[in-house]
Amino acid sequence: MLGLVDGLEIRVRGQVQGVGFRPFVWQLAQRFGLQGTVLNDPEGVLIQVCGAGLEGFAAALTEEAPPLARVDAVECRAFWFDLLPVGFVIAASRGRGAETRVVPDAATCPDCLAEIRGNGRRRGYAFTNCTHCGPRFSILRGLPYDRAQTSMAGFAMCGDCRAEYENPGDRRFHAQPIACPACGPRLWLEVAGAEVPGDAVALAVARLKAGQVLAIKGLGGFHLACDARNAAAVELLRQRKRRPAKPFAVMMGEGDLGGFCEVSDDILGLLRGAAAPVAVVRSLGKLPEAVAPGMATLGVMLPYTPLHHLLIDGFGGTLVMTSGNLSGEPQVIGNDEAREKLSGFADAFLLHDREIVRRLDDGVVRADPPMVLRRARGAAPGTLPLPPGFDGAGQVLALGGQMKAAICLVKNGQALLSHHLGELEDALSWEEYLRACADYGALFDLSPDVVACDRHPGYRASRHAETLGLPVVRVGHHHAHLAACLGDNLWPRDGGQVVGIVLDGTGLGQDGTIWGGEVLLGDYAGVTRVGYLRPAALPGGDAASREPWRNLLVRLDQAGLSGLADEVLTGMPLGIARAAVKAGMNAPLSSSAGRLFDAFAAALGICVGRQSYEGEAAMRLEAMVAGEAGAYAFGEASGVIDPAPMWQAWAADRAAGVLPGVMAARFHAGLAAAFCAVARRVVESGQAQAVVLSGGCFQNPVLLRACLNRLKGMKVLTHRTTPANDGGLALGQALIAAAQRLTVAESG
């Protein structure tokens, strides 16, 4: 290579576009005195560089990466320049395709927050951002991530913004959503279709203080907001939205948190993070009951955009911030859509003219014990590494389930689990789901070899799988739950069998019946049912998931307590329900733990007739738990867990006047003890290496803690970055399909 200049070509893979990685590389090159180029391309970031100090430069790429970057790999190989480069240059992006990650939206950084509160040209500007924060996925149309591929394309930069954008030493270098009041999006307040003159934020604050409801256009959609301390305003919002009891999330400044909820370092860490989710925390009961009826917890979030910071600063208090949508429909994202659908809810609209390309709900997490309840804004479309043993799995599309729908894409050793897409029974949610399938596939250049779906033939996602012209892998609902938890914990494909306690509402079992309270032995390749809750009928079919009295009736009858059922459920059509059960008419058997929670909640007088939202009975039962009070005994024989003894013990407690909170605690503890005893026996027999806890019931922290206590001394896997509920199903489906493909390839 005589006459050529020795150097390195460095490929950086991971979340490295749209996070200030190229200017970071430029600054490193200045520090190390290097020459060459850096650019974005379809595989990530490509660096060609020469000079002394290359080893330290390469190490710093990982060790000193920008806050929003995640470096998966730094690959170096020898490279020769024809001529010595002059300086170090950030070159234009090249190539099409999507072999790199797309960056989630990120909460306002401290520097931008200081700017909007300062005296510079961005003082009070609601769309301030830089390479360390701001909109990303919500404004992205395609890759590579450049301004022309976002909804900022129509806003021509002014001279001042252009200077920042082109200066590699500025934190706004190539910040694609860069804007200022002179050239960026604008904000206005609108009433009855007409813009109200004046400062939009000040006008909005005045209306909020007056007890009005506002529709506010945010990052991934609209919120409906009102004064959280004003009981009349909260009730007004509930009446207008026809949402009688489902908890509202609230937004407040960090300094106000301690006045309304219990705060810990873990909670603050979650709230302050770039994802800025809603965190479910212990409430101090200082807000009106109407904010979260019957709950001991509160869903709180900090302001995460400049607009939110300006509102909270001006308002000086706590705001309800709930999704702006019609009941059951996806969140509204467009101005005209908001005018059409939210005018019956809102007294005024706080609007802007930056288009939201992608609908993103707020993410929801719990700090103690840590868990993801809803994977959404700030987390999606972050990717997850595949566990060891999945190399060469090819490209897989998994379509998830019917409730809390999400899809998963597997490609190049990564799994991409989508954001929350809603309940697919709703027509508009189904349209959104189909759009997301096309959207993600195009953004990530997916050409799947196989599609995975739930075994249930009636699920819309499962029917959709049949239309794609690909081999279809139908996956058992609860096997998918188990596999999702394994994948979340990077359990190796050859890591050995586990025993999974999978507790949820309902899902089609391997035997064609409705499951929901299972103990499964297996791995990615397959599972065997080794334990389950004694089945009971679901009188009325789907109606049993909405009306807890139905589940209480069949469980009390099953326990020999029909007389008590007649006493407790006076006024309900018990005769009709019993006749249906006896005849087997629209009364399928189910082992559902979720329906057992509903039954026990009804036994304590909670939501007896009807739930106003999914999971209300179980959530209110959890909130009622009063400390540790022993455990109700369940029967068990050959892995079949019988709740009849529990019901008899409850009947005795009821007759003795035991407090409802004590009975709620004994129920949770007894259920945990019964299932954990079966799982422990399997592990101790040597058949399993660990215990998996999955399914929507494990989003109940009381149940989760009780199981963890019962399983002390054993390896226990719980969900970390994916939801335990159906929002994680697609990941499990994808891993199961990938494992099957690899097994076939290896055997052939």
Q: What is the DSSP string of 170-219?
A: STTTT-TT---TTTS--EEEEETTEEEPS-HHHHHHHHHHTT--EEEE-S
Which range, 377-386, 506-515, 706-715, is most confident? 706-715
Instruction: List, in order, residues 6 or more apart from 729 with CB less than 8 Å away.
Output: 398, 400, 401, 406, 454, 477, 480, 481, 484
CATH number of the domain within which 11 lies: 3.30.70.100
The residue among 125, 163, 138 whose CA lies nearest residue 18 is 138
Domain end position, chosen among 56, 90, 124: 90
Given a contact cutoff of 8 angstroms between Cβ atoms, the answer to whether 362 and 376 are in contact is yes
SS (H, E, C) 608-653: CCCCCCCCHHHHHHHHHCCCCCCCCCCEEECCEEECHHHHHHHHHH
Q: What is the DSSP letter of 162?
A: H
> Whole-angstrom Cα distance, residue 646 to residue 536?
15
Domain end position, chosen among 68, 90, 112: 90
Q: pLDDT of 586-613, one tens digit each?
A: 999 999 999 999 999 999 999 999 999 9
Do the domain assignments include residue 545? yes
pLDDT value, residue 109? 96
Which whole number is the average pLDDT over 664-673? Answer: 98
Given a contact cutoff of 8 angstroms between Cβ atoms, the answer to whether 7 and 49 are in contact is yes
Q: Which two three-digit tokens encode residue 265? A: 């370092």
pLDDT value, residue 41? 86
Do the domain assignments include residue 146? no
Q: Which two three-digit tokens encode residue 647? A: 């019901």
- Does one domain contain both 350 and 425? no
CA torsion sign, 445 to 447 to 452 to 453?
Answer: positive
Do the domain assignments include residue 458? yes
- Does one domain contain both 334 and 414? no
- Does one domain contain both 555 and 457? no
What backbone torsions phi and psi does residue 456 show, to the nearest 5 degrees? -70, 120
- Does one domain contain both 637 and 539? yes
> Whole-angstrom Cα distance, residue 353 to residue 335?
8
SS (H, E, C) 7-63: EEEEEEEEECCCCCHHHHHHHHHHHHCCEEEEEEECCEEEEEEECCCHHHHHHHHHH
Do the domain assignments include residue 696? yes
> Whole-angstrom Cα distance, residue 414 to residue 425?
30
- Does one domain contain both 332 and 432? no
Task: Render 208-266 in DSSP notation, one character per residue.
Answer: HHTT--EEEE-SSSEEEEEETT-HHHHHHHHHHHT-SSSPPEEE--GGGHHHHB---HH
- Does one domain contain both 541 and 690? yes
- Give the confidence band of 134 by pLDDT, cuts at 50, 70, 90: very high
- Give the confidence band of 3 by pLDDT, cuts at 50, 70, 90: low
Query: For the chain, what is the largest distance between any 2 Cα atoms, rounded to a whole number of angstroms?
Result: 97
CATH number of the domain within which 656 lies: 3.30.420.40
The number of helix segments (H) and strand segments (E) in the chain equals: 23, 31
Please state the separation of Cα 88 from the chain's center in Å: 41
- Does one domain contain both 690 and 580? yes
- Does one domain contain both 588 and 710? yes
- Does one domain contain both 279 and 208? yes
Looking at every residue in the chain, the average pLDDT score rounds to 95
CA torsion 568-573-577-578 (nearest 10°) is: 60
Q: pLDDT of 571-584, one tens digit each?
A: 999 999 999 999 99
For residue 44, give its domain range.
5-90
Query: 731 pLDDT exceeds 50?
Result: yes
CATH number of the domain within which 743 lies: 3.30.420.360
Q: How many domains does the chain have?
A: 4
514 by DSSP, 3-state: which? Answer: strand
pLDDT value, residue 1? 42
Which whole number is the average pLDDT over 197-217? Answer: 98
Which whole number is the average pLDDT over 152-164? Answer: 97
Domain end position, chosen among 66, 90, 114: 90
Query: 722 pLDDT exceeds 70?
Result: yes
pLDDT value, residue 12? 95
> Whole-angstrom Cα distance, residue 332 to residue 342?
8
- Which one is predicted more confidently, 133 or 100? 133
Element (H, E) at 336: helix 335-341
Q: Whole-prediction pTM value? A: 0.93
CB-count exposure of residue 657 (10 Å: 0-12, 13-18, 19+): exposed
Helix axes 306-315, 110-117, angle to 10 degrees: 50
703 by DSSP, 3-state: which? Answer: helix
Do the domain assignments include residue 614? yes
- Does one domain contain both 337 and 292? yes
Percent of the chain with pLDDT over 90: 87
Does 40 qualify as catalytic in the annotation? yes
What backbone torsions phi and psi does residue 351 show, to the nearest 5 degrees? -120, 160
Indicate which residue of 13, 40, 359, 493 is catalytic.
Answer: 40
Length of the chain: 748
Task: Render 471-486 in DSSP notation, one character per residue.
Answer: -EEEE-HHHHHHHHHH
CATH number of the domain within which 275 lies: 3.90.870.40
Q: What is the DSSP letter of 140?
A: B
Which whole number is the average pLDDT over 722-731? Answer: 97
Which whole number is the average pLDDT over 321-328? Answer: 90
Do the domain assignments include residue 21? yes
602 by DSSP, 3-state: which? Answer: helix
pLDDT value, residue 473? 98
Q: Which residue has the tokens 């709180």?
A: 300
Do the domain assignments include residue 174? no
Given a contact cutoff of 8 angstroms between Cβ atoms, the answer to whether 484 and 456 are in contact is no
- Does one domain contain both 655 and 703? yes
- Does one domain contain both 591 and 655? yes
Helix ranges, 502-568 (H): 543-546, 548-558, 562-568
Do the domain assignments include residue 485? no
Given a contact cutoff of 8 angstroms between Cβ atoms, the answer to whether 624 and 607 are in contact is no
Which whole number is the average pLDDT over 725-741? Answer: 97
Does 22 qualify as catalytic in the annotation? yes
Given a contact cutoff of 8 angstroms between Cβ atoms, the answer to whether 226 and 320 are in contact is yes
> Whole-angstrom Cα distance, residue 623 to residue 295?
6
Indicate which residue of 13, 22, 375, 377 is catalytic.
Answer: 22
What backbone torsions phi and psi does residue 252 show, to the nearest 5 degrees? -150, 165
Q: Which two three-digit tokens encode residue 359? A: 């609908």
Instruction: Report the first-to-last Cα separation within the chain, whole angstroms.
Output: 45
- Give the confidence band of 40 by pLDDT, cuts at 50, 70, 90: confident
